[in-house]
Amino acid sequence: MSQSTFGKKFTVTTWGESHGKALGAVVDGVPAGLFLTEADIQAYLDRRKPGQSRYTTARKEGDEVEILSGVFEGQTTGTPISLIVRNKDQRSRDYGNIAKTYRPGHADFGFDSKYGFRDYRGGGRSSGRETIGRVAAGAIASKILKELGITLQAYTSSIGPISCHSYHPEMIKENSFYMPDMVAAEKAAQYLEQCMKAEDSAGGVIECRINGVPAGIGDPVFGKLDASFAQALMSIGAVKAVEIGDGVKVSTMKGSEDNDGFHMENGRIVKTTNHSGGILGGISDGGEILLRAHIKPTPSIAQPQQTVTTTGENISIEIKGRHDPVIVPRAVVVVESMAAITLVDAMFSNMSARMDYVKDFYL
Ligand SMILES: Cc1cc2nc3c(=O)[nH]c(=O)nc-3n(C[C@H](O)[C@H](O)[C@H](O)COP(=O)(O)O)c2cc1C
């Protein structure tokens, strides 16, 4: 069983492998009449493309997207949108030695255990390249949200032990790590240099802020908005924990510290604080939605590691291919994209939540 489709009303199916001919996505449920060009999608893909700094893999990929269907004369037609990105720099021989070996921290052993067979070229379907389809689809979701006045901003909030201490959104594009704090970005560069010298890798945290979401989105109980975001972000390779609002800190807080008070402001109910991260009872509460994804250190490292071959021989492995010493910067736009896809799906589902909405539409 391959679960490659996410969403119910706005569905995204990703397909393709790291070293196959191409990767992409089929996006269904996009309303007709959205102005959409390849440039809209390319701008998102360029944020995750490899080879942009010395801290990302040296694999050279243009990652140019082509829209194969669902758009006519510059507008979506309401039919499935098929998106393709062709692989160009597939040096499979870089990965030849892993065909019969289980790389520590990778999906190799899991895939063999499940399917009895795996595409070992660059991790196949478990590769970070699978996220191309997510980002291409996320560009479309983000464009829909923008038309509704909803904006998403993801950024790196920490790399290894180096955390941001200030939030300057205009700085996010000014450093290789997409950090909103230039001092932290400089320290992160020094930290990564040490990791690279030691043939090691680092992890970190990505935050995503979503503004303009009306109160009332999310479907209790199994489609709670926080549960849907958690599933979406946890399905990204290397994400090991997801937090909403104050996240894991709540377990040590008091009720008086964690609760957000309400008050009236210009005839509207607003919250005094936002410990909830914009979601209460699985439903958006009108506050800024704050998501946090914790990313593990890149599993491929050049240091010798203990493992076994597929025939059960104990060996030492050194992974010399082209790998990101830290995954976080390239995953920033992936987190933002999955958040956008989740939110569009939840908002489209919400359109039939109340009889007055249905009457507004049909009567
Ligand atoms: C955008 C992105 C890029 C990645 N790049 C690499 C990489 O260059 N080298 C590597 O070893 N893992 C990379 N990964 C992580 C592996 O794909 C992932 O850790 C592995 O499949 C095991 O899955 P798990 O960590 O979710 O258990 C990347 C992940 C993402 C999301």
pLDDT digits (tens, 9 = 90+) for 202-247: 999 999 999 999 999 999 999 999 999 999 999 999 999 999 999 9
Residues 6 or more apart whose Cβ sits within 8 Å of residue 121: 17, 18, 19, 20, 90, 92, 95
Does the C-beta of 127 come closer than 6 Å to ligand 1? yes
Residue 166, Cβ density class (10 Å: 0-12 exposed, 13-18 middle, ≥19 buried): exposed
Give the mutation target among 327, 333, 336, 338 for probing the ligand 1 site: most ligand atoms within 8 A of CB.
Answer: 327
Q: For ligand 1, is residue 172 a contact (CB within 6 Å)?
A: no
Which segments within 65-190 are labelled E, that is strand? 65-67, 71-72, 75-76, 81-86, 151-159, 162-163
Side chain identity, residue 52: Q
Residues 6+ apart with CB under 8 A from 312: none
Confidence of residue 52 (pLDDT cuts 50, 70, 90): confident
Two tokens, residue 26: 């089929």
For residue 86, give both structure tokens.
């062709």
Widest CA span of the chain, in angstroms? 71
Q: Which residues does 37 contact at the CB level (< 8 Å), separation at least 6?
A: 74
- Beta carbon of 296 within 6 Å of any ligand 1 atom: yes
Per-residue DSSP letters for 290-322?
EEEEEEPPPS--SS-EEEEBTTS-EEEE---S-
Q: Which long-range contacts (CB under 8 A, 24 or more apart) does 111-119 make?
A: 112/310, 119/17, 119/18, 119/19, 119/20
Determine how β-strand 305-308 pairs with β-strand 5-6.
unpaired
Which residue's CA is minimally distant from atom 25 of ligand 1? 238
Tell me, what's the pLDDT at 320?
Answer: 79
Q: What's the gap in Å between 298 CA and the centre of ligand 1?
A: 6
| Residue 96 CB neighbours (<10 A) | 12
Q: Which of 220, 165, 190, 201 is nearest to 302 (CA)?
A: 201
- Taking alpha carbons only, the member of 94, 92, 115, 120 closest to residue 309 is 120
- In the predicted model, is pLDDT for residue 43 greater than 80? yes
Which whole number is the average pLDDT over 338-356?
98
**Per-residue pLDDT at 46 exceeds 80:** yes
207 lines ligand 1 (CB under 6 A): no
Residue pLDDT, tens place only, 123-173: 899 999 999 999 999 999 999 999 999 999 999 999 999 999 999 999 999
Instruction: Answer yes or no: pTM beyond 0.85.
Output: yes
Q: In a mutational test of the pocket of ligand 1, which residue from 46, 126, 127 has the highest number of ligand atoms less than 8 Å from its CB?
A: 127
- What atom of ligand 1 comes closest to residue 237's alpha carbon? 26
Measured from the CA of 295, which atom of ligand 1 is nearest? 25
**Is the CB–ligand 1 distance for residue 326 below 6 Å?**
no
* N-term to C-term CA, the chain: 43
Give the H or E element holding residue 145.
Answer: helix 131-147
By alpha-carbon position, which residue is closest to atom 3 of ligand 1? Answer: 128
Q: 139 CB less than 6 Å from ligand 1? A: no
Q: Is 128 in the pocket of ligand 1 (CB under 6 A)?
A: yes
- What whole-number percentage of the chain has pLDDT above 90? 88
Residues in the chain: 363
Q: What is the DSSP letter of 7?
A: -
> Is the C-beta atom of 201 inside 6 A of ligand 1?
no
Rounded Cα–Cα distance for residues 17 and 139 (Å): 21
* Ligand 1 midpoint to CA 327 (Å): 7
